[in-house]
Each structure stands twice: as structure tokens, then as C-alpha cells.
Amino acid sequence: MQMNQIREYLSFCAAGQLVDCSTPLVMGIINVTPDSFAVRCSSCTEAGILHDASVMLQQGADILDIGGYSTRPNAPFVSEEEEWQRLRLALKTIRNAWPDVPVSVDTFRSEIARRAVSEYATNIINDVSGGQWDEQMFATVAQLGVPYVLTHTYWLTPDQQKASCEHDVVSDVLAFLQERLDQLHQAGVADVIIDPGFGLGKTVEESYCLLREMAVLQVLHAPVLAGLSRKSMFFKPLQITPKDALNATTAANVLALERGANILRVHDVKAAREAVQVVQLTYSYSL
């Protein structure tokens, strides 16, 4: 099925502005953690943050996504105050340099979300837990009036490793996202972006199944975010390191775009922007 046959016109509201993502957007990842999943942290200082954000924006990032708590396997626990101090440096630095750039904060804690929006005008809250790890998250996001990234995960806590069992992963993801979408709308959250959660408590096989069947998410009538960047679904079967997984990530991003992804969340903005352009060009020409 062609990309222009499965994508509806989709948008969300951020900072009072309508963001059109019928043309796919690129979200650049800025991890202010010393143990980033894919690469060593270069954004743990003000100079590093400025450099990384500047490069991403020059390469075509539409949104900067800032995270202060790694959810990679075996990542150490981070207190709420430590997470906030990490985020605060990045938010302050980016807001001073680029007051109007759309910023997302990657957190599962409602109080972090509240402070990020109220103190630094954060535009989007990106919650890897889908609201499961903080029961106040949905109400908080509703009060804040910002878009929310709703992510599926099998983990019940940030440090839980996946149990040894099999899942009907596509049905599980659809059911979870539909139920939580309804809860969010009932709570008063108007703008929800959905993320199937590649690799989050899922086996390599389950993640590829999700990628193959991603087009079914269109039935939920919400923008779809694909977070595939340098994940274990690539470096484990290919027997490479996360650092060497850019080519695999780009291939998967193209597949995700073909299946209706509206936002690519990536470490490598230039490659993702070019993937978006190539897919668009493929469907723009006719003979």
C-alpha cells in the first residue's frame, strides 16, 4: 500500500500553533544522561547541548526531544530531583538560544512534566510508560494543555526486565493504545500522538512484527511516532553495536514512513530528513 493511500491529514496543537504532520516530522533526541542508549552523552554540558541542538536544527529537526532518565536495559535508577536538574540545564540552554523551537520532554513523572511546561514552556510530554508509572500523568497533562506522546510498553516499572513469555503484540498494542486514548480524551487531553514502543519490553521478533504491521495504527486516527533509532532490534540480529546501526535505522525508518509514521524520533537527524525526502519524492512523480 502506498504512503499517500494510508496517511490521513493529521495535526496537533502545540503552544497555540497547529502543527501539520501530514508531511512527516523529524524529532531529534538530546539525551542529558551519562549512559545514553545509543551513544556516549555529549549533551551533559551547556556547550554540548548548544552544539548538539544547533546541529540537529541545521539538519532539519522539527522538534527537540530532551530526556534525563535512560530506560535502556539495566540503566541505573535516577531520582526525580536528579532527572529535573539534568533536564533543567538543557531546557534553560535551549530556550535561551531558540525560544520558539518546539521542545518535547521525555519523562514518565507528572511533576517533571508540570515543571517543564510551567517553567520552560515545554510543548510536548513524551511518556515512555503510557501513563502506567505515574497515575497522575493523564490529569497533569490535561491541566497543562499540551500534546502527549502515548507509548506502549510491557514493562510495569522503569527497571523491570521483560518476562519470558510470548505476546500477540499487534493486538496488545492496538488494545492498549485505544483504551488509553479513550482515557486521555475523557481526562481532557485533546492532542495525543501514539507510539507503538519498539523494543520496550518486546522481543526482536515482536518489534519486527510491529514494524511490518504498523499501518494498522491508522485506525486509531492519531499521529504516529516511530522511535526506532539504533535499537536492539537492529544491532542484535545484525551482530553490530548501536554506534554502527545507522544504516539499519534508516532502512527501518523508510519502512515506518511507508506504513504511516508521521514523526520519526531519531539520534541522526540528517539521515532521517533524507529518508523522509526520498519517500516523498517516490510518490511525487508520475509518468
Q: What is the pLDDT of residues 102-116, one digit of tens each?
A: 999 999 999 999 999
Convert the pLDDT of each residue in 204-263 to its tens digit.
999 999 999 999 999 999 999 999 999 999 999 999 999 999 999 999 999 999 999 999
pLDDT at 43: 58
pLDDT at 285: 83
Residue 5 lies in a domain: no
Sign, CA dihedral 251-256-262-266, equals negative
Which position among 114, 115, 231, 259 bears the catalytic label?
231
Between 42 and 194, name the one with better pLDDT.
194
pLDDT at 1: 40
β-bridge partners, 104: 65, 124
Cell of residue 255, nine digits: 519502512
Residue 87 lies in a domain: yes
- Could you list the beta-strand ranges (E) of the chain: 11-14, 17-20, 25-31, 63-67, 103-106, 124-127, 148-151, 192-195, 225-226, 263-266
β-bridge partners, 66: 30, 105
Residue by residue, DSSP assigns 66-127 as: EESS--STTPPP--HHHHHHHHHHHHHHHHHH-TTS-EEEE-S-HHHHHHHHHHH---EEEE
Q: Catalytic site residue 270?
A: no
Q: Half-sphere exposure of 258 toward its Cβ, with a 13 Å CA cutoff? A: 13
Task: Report the distance separating Cα 72 and Cα 204, nearest Å.
Answer: 15
- Please report, rounded to a whole number, the percentage of residues in the chain having pLDDT higher than 90: 78
Q: Is 31 helix (H, G, I), strand (E, B) or coil?
A: strand
Model confidence at 18, pLDDT cuts 50, 70, 90, reads confident
**Least confident window among 33-47, 65-79, 98-112, 198-212:** 33-47
Model confidence at 44, pLDDT cuts 50, 70, 90, reads confident
Cell of residue 14, nine digits: 502545540
Residue 80 lies in a domain: yes
Task: Report the distance separating Cα 175 and Cα 181, nearest Å.
Answer: 10
**Least confident window among 28-42, 72-86, 223-237:** 28-42
Residue 71 lies in a domain: yes
Cell of residue 119, nine digits: 517553567
Q: Show the domain range for 212.
A: 24-284
Residue 159 lies in a domain: yes
Query: How many domains are contained in the chain?
Result: 1
pLDDT at 7: 47
Give the closest residue to 173 by CA, choosing from 106, 241, 224.
224
CB-based contacts of 7, cutoff 8 Å, min separation 6: 22, 218, 260, 262
Q: Catalytic site residue 265?
A: yes
Model confidence at 281, pLDDT cuts 50, 70, 90, reads very high
Residue 184 lies in a domain: yes
- Please report, rounded to a whole number, the percentage of residues in the chain having pLDDT higher than 70: 90
Q: Is the pLDDT of residue 2 over 50?
A: no
pLDDT at 11: 72
Q: Find the CATH number of the domain harbouring 136.
A: 3.20.20.20
**CB-CB contact of 92 with 56 (8 Å):** no
Convert the pLDDT of each residue in 109-163 to its tens digit.
999 999 999 999 999 999 999 999 999 999 999 999 999 999 999 988 877 655 5
The whole-model pTM stands at: 0.92
Model confidence at 165, pLDDT cuts 50, 70, 90, reads low
Length of the chain: 287
Task: Report the distance separating Cα 131 and Cα 110, nearest Å.
Answer: 9
Task: Report the distance separating Cα 115 and Cα 223, nearest Å.
Answer: 25
